[in-house]
Amino acid sequence: MDNIFKSIINQLKPIRPMPKVKMKTCSISGKKFKADKVNFYHSSTSTDGLHPYHKSFDNFRRVTGASVDQCRNLVNLINS
């Protein structure tokens, strides 16, 4: 009997909305990603504490030795 009352009470509780996930736009690709340290490197000079480039785009840029503008052009060519 207690289980029935508990289930009824749980169904009557208001549903809490999910918290809004903070998103950050990668300045190379222009795509939005979840703003966390999984997707962006730490930066002590930025206001939100995250580097403006997504990790995968920044790693590609570093490995190839390309500039940010060259990476942007490449992404634009791929997306068009």
Task: Give me the helices (H) in 17-67, please.
Answer: 55-64
Q: What is the pLDDT of residues 14-31, one digit of tens each?
A: 777 778 889 999 999 999
| Residue 44 located in a structural domain | yes
Residue 66: the pLDDT is 94
Residue 1: the pLDDT is 60
Which H or E element spans position 24? Answer: strand 23-25
| Reported confidence tier of residue 6, pLDDT bands at 50, 70, 90 | confident
Number of separate domains in the chain: 1
Estimate the share of the chain in helix, then strand, then coil, as percent rounded to the nearest 5: 40, 20, 40
Distance CA 33, CA 15 (A): 27
Q: What is the pLDDT of residues 50-71, one digit of tens each?
A: 999 999 999 999 999 999 999 9
| Residue 54 located in a structural domain | yes
Domain containing 59 equals 21-79
| Residue 51 located in a structural domain | yes
